[in-house]
Amino acid sequence: MLFHRSSLPLSRRTLDHTAGVVRRHPAGIGSKGRALTPGTQALMMAGLPAQGETFAELGAGFGVSTTTPWRYVNQAVALLSARSPKLHRALRKATRDGLLYLVLDGTLIPIDRVVADRPFYCGKHRKHGMNLQAIATPDDTIVWVSGALPGSTHDLTAARIRGVLRALQAAGPLVLADTGYHGAGEPLLTPYRGKGKPEPQKDANRSHARLRKPGEHANAHLKTWQILRKLRCCPQRAGHLANAIHVLQTREAQAC
């Protein structure tokens, strides 16, 4: 098996921060010894979602067994995911920043499952996956990512399960969302539905889509990480991976 060097969409400062998170963790649980340094573990953790490599490939590339990257990557993902902003805190910060509005959107993370797994099948996208809810700013910056639910879950149902609607009502910002959230009520503003709409409603929908579009790009930024284009591990890990990637992206934006 041959290997080659590849680039990662992260700076040295972000990797150093991740290494610091990993380094401080074993001190708190009394762990002794490592097969790899915290810096190498951080590099390994970033390499998996960015390049979509398997644990076997990572292990061979770093000269360790397959179980070592499995353990190290899962540990680093859990540590970073735990540092992702909670919903109420993220909304409070958005309010303090004086943002004119937020964008709520759902995205499907494709998974490697068979047709018999009906709870994971999304009829809208005609594929198996996990539903994630994300809130973004008008400049396509993600402020919060939810945990994962089976792909058959409707966006509005997912938002209710995750407590997004209650949190938005308490925070009070104007929130734009697509027709999948129709009927949610305030503070969500969704497009007009139905055929044969009068021209003023069509104009309003076009303006709504234009304002919502930058926020919806935020979900696309998550999927620039190879692993989220088709998840081949436990589907329940989709939320943890997305939150860990969100932390890395936020850190990278702060480093610029």
pLDDT digits (tens, 9 = 90+) for 200-229: 999 999 999 999 988 788 888 888 888 888
Phi, psi (degrees; rounded to nearest 5) at 143: -105, -20
Q: Is the model's pLDDT at 124 over the cut of 60?
A: yes
Q: What is the pLDDT of residue 4?
A: 46
Q: What is the mean pLDDT of residues 15-24?
A: 84
Neighbours of 78 (CB within 10 A): 14
- C-beta separation of 48 from 73 below 8 A: yes
Burial class (CB in 10 A: 0-12, 13-18, 19+), 116: exposed
pLDDT class for 115, splitting at 50, 70, 90?
Answer: low
> In this predicted model, which residue has the larger pLDDT, 123 or 142?
142
Q: What is the mean pLDDT of residues 147-160?
A: 92
CA 44, 50, 55, 57 torsion-angle sign: negative
The segment with the largest mean pLDDT, out of 101-105, 116-120, 180-184, is: 101-105
What does the alpha-carbon distance between residue 117 and residue 136 come to, in Å, rounded to a whole number?
A: 31
Q: Where are the domains of the chain?
A: 12-81, 87-232
Q: What is the pLDDT of residue 175?
A: 94
Q: What is the mean pLDDT of residues 70-91?
A: 90
> In this predicted model, which residue has the larger pLDDT, 208 or 4?
208
Rounded to two decimals, what is the model's pTM?
0.86
Phi, psi (degrees; rounded to nearest 5) at 214: -60, -40
Phi, psi (degrees; rounded to nearest 5) at 121: -85, 125
Q: What is the pLDDT of residue 68?
A: 85
The segment with the largest mean pLDDT, out of 27-41, 57-71, 98-112, is: 98-112
> In this predicted model, which residue has the larger pLDDT, 113 or 83?
83
What does the alpha-carbon distance between residue 179 and residue 106 come to, in Å, rounded to a whole number?
A: 11
